[in-house]
Chain A
Amino acid sequence: EAQVTQNPRYLITVTGKKLTVTCSQNMNHEYMSWYRQDPGLGLRQIYYSMNVEVTDKGDVPEGYKVSRKEKRNFPLILESPSPNQTSLYFCASRPGGGWNQPQHFGDGTRLSIL
Chain B
Amino acid sequence: GIQVEQSPPDLILQEGANSTLRCNFSDSVNNLQWFHQNPWGQLINLFYIPSGTKQNGRLSATTVATERYSLLYISSSQTTDSGVYFCAVGNAGGTSYGKLTFGQGTILTVHP
Which A residues form the contact surface with B (CB < 8 A)? 31, 33, 35, 40-45, 48-50, 56, 58-59, 88, 90, 92, 99-100, 102-103, 105, 107-108
Known: A42-B86, A58-B99, A99-B90. A90 touches B43 (CB 8 A): yes
**Nearest CB to that of B33 among chain A residues?**
A99
Which B residues are in CB contact (< 8 Å) with A100? 48
**Nearest CB to that of A38 among chain B residues?**
B104
A44 near B102 with CB under 8 A, answer yes
B66 at the interface (CB under 8 A from A): no
In the docked arrangement, what's the CA distance between A50 and B92, Å?
13
Which B56-112 residues sit within 8 Å CB-CB of chain A? 86, 88, 90, 95-105
14 A-B residue contacts at CB 8 Å?
A31-B98, A41-B104, A42-B6, A45-B101, A48-B100, A56-B95, A58-B99, A58-B100, A59-B1, A92-B43, A99-B33, A99-B90, A105-B42, A107-B41
Q: Number of contact residues on B: which range applies? A: 20 to 34
**Nearest CB to that of B44 among chain A residues?**
A105
Total cross-chain contacts (CB, 8 A): 55
A102 near B48 with CB under 8 A, answer yes
User: Chain B 13-43, CB within 8 Å of chain A: the 1/0 string?
Assistant: 0000000000000000001010000000111
B43 near A105 with CB under 8 A, answer yes
Which B residues form the contact surface with A (CB < 8 A)? 1, 4, 6, 31, 33, 41-45, 48, 50, 86, 88, 90, 95-105
B31 near A99 with CB under 8 A, answer yes
Instruction: Quote the shortest CB–CB distance from A105 to chain B (angstroms).
Output: 4
Instruction: Please list the 8 inter-chain residue pairs (A to B) with the smallest Cβ-Cβ separation, ordered nearest first.
Output: A102-B45, A105-B43, A42-B102, A48-B98, A99-B31, A42-B104, A43-B102, A42-B105
Which B residues are in CB contact (< 8 Å) with A102? 45, 48
Instruction: Quote the shortest CB–CB distance from B91 to chain A (angstroms).
Output: 11
